[in-house]
Amino acid sequence: MITEDPKHQDIHEYLAEFEDIPGTRVYTAARARKGYHMNQFAMSLMKDENRARFKADERAYLDEWPLNEEQKEALLARDYNRCLDLGGNVYFLAKLFSTDGIPFAEAVSTMTDMSFPEYREMMMNGGRSPEGVRSIRANAASSGETNEGAR
């Protein structure tokens, strides 16, 4: 039984807040649209024969998909932050991680400013603290207050 009428949430306000999280690309409808073919390409790597064809000639395989040049380059470079910006989703890109035969966590570490051993070490020590990475706005406000300069 619903004990409190949940307030209707405005979709524009809802989406706007996502842009305030540091170092995070929320997989919104806009990203999903932009990255549709990129993610479907990644999905195709679930099949052995496709993995083999991709590995034999990555560029030629990508050219079979309706991707723009930027997306192809980001995929070829394994620039995963760029892939996220261009609409990629990590669960789909994971098919590329496994095609490359690298552990999920290693691929994830390439999106941070750490090497894989440093990243692993951070995880062993309890992970990245949420302190200071909750809100871009809040960070700007507090650095303004303490006069520590803009980020």
Q: Are 151 and 139 in contact (CB under 8 A)?
A: yes
User: Binder to another protein among 4, 49, 69, 148 (CB under 8 A)?
Assistant: 4
With a CB cutoff of 8 Å and minimum separation 6, the contacts of 38 are 65, 67, 71, 75, 83, 86, 87, 88, 92
| 150 near another protein, judged by CB under 8 A | no
Contact 139, 129 (CB under 8 A): no
71: phi then psi, degrees, rounded to nearest 5: -65, -40
From the CB of 147, what's the least distance to another protein, in Å? 25
Work out whether 23 is an interface residue with another protein (CB under 8 A): yes
Contact set with another protein (CB under 8 A):
1-4, 6, 9, 14-15, 17-18, 21-29, 32, 36, 39-40, 42-43, 45-46, 80-81, 84, 89-92, 94-95, 98-99, 103-105, 108-109, 111-113, 119, 122-124, 126-130, 133-135
